Amino acid sequence: MFPFNDSSHDIDDYQIHLQNLFSYQLISSQEGCSRTENLNTNSKIDETTQNEEKKIMHRDLERERRKQMTSLLTNLRSLLPLEFIKGRRSRVDIVDEAVNYIEYLRGRMNELHVKRDAIVKRLHLESSSSCNNDIPSTSCVVIKQYSGGLEIVISNGIISEQNFQLSGVMRVLIEQSIEIETCSSTKLNERMLHTIQTKVDDPTKIDLHELKQKLYQVCNSE
């Protein structure tokens, strides 16, 4: 009888031990699942936060880009003549008209270059006919009258160009109350051509012969 009772107690103890082990494993498993869920939740939160930060950064960059584009478009519009942007409001229209304006300016520059070359050639022929090119130390002066002003061309040889003082020419013109509009210099066939465009209210009141003599003296003085 006693051995049987001892065996019964051992079985009960064993069952209790098994129940305790099962309970421990169950609790450990639940704790592990809970930790895994917490890690997954934290990972999802971090990923969501990063995505939100990326969206905010992208939105800020896009806002800044649009702001810069608006500023550039406003500056571009201010550079275009009114006839090119009249009735044009969209960005595409303004950019297209800017391209058209650039092409227009390029065409005008080509036309002006052709006119300039023709004028220089004509002035060279006129100055050559009135100047003694065999004397490199001599400067010559050609004055042409046109509506609203005078065109003065001074042709210098190699030696005369070294001593030439354009300021003296300007002083003579100012003394004669002649307004200077433009002045350009071009080298042609070993000579320097100085072309001066002037504005005169009444060119008929100016003694062209006297003016030419004064300019000649200034150009050939050492």
How would you classify the pairing of strands 191-199 and 139-146? unpaired
Contact 196, 138 (CB under 8 A): no
Ordered by where they begin, the domains of the chain are 116-220 (3.30.70.260)
- pLDDT attached to residue 103: 92
Report the SS3 class of residue 21: helix
Residue in this structure with the two tokens 């895994």, named with its chain if needed: 36
- pLDDT attached to residue 2: 41
- pLDDT attached to residue 219: 82
Q: Which residues of the chain have pLDDT under 70?
A: 1-46, 88, 120-137, 158-163, 222
- pLDDT attached to residue 1: 41
Read off the pTM: 0.43
Contact 219, 167 (CB under 8 A): no
Contact 131, 189 (CB under 8 A): no
- pLDDT attached to residue 217: 86
- pLDDT attached to residue 42: 63
- pLDDT attached to residue 4: 43
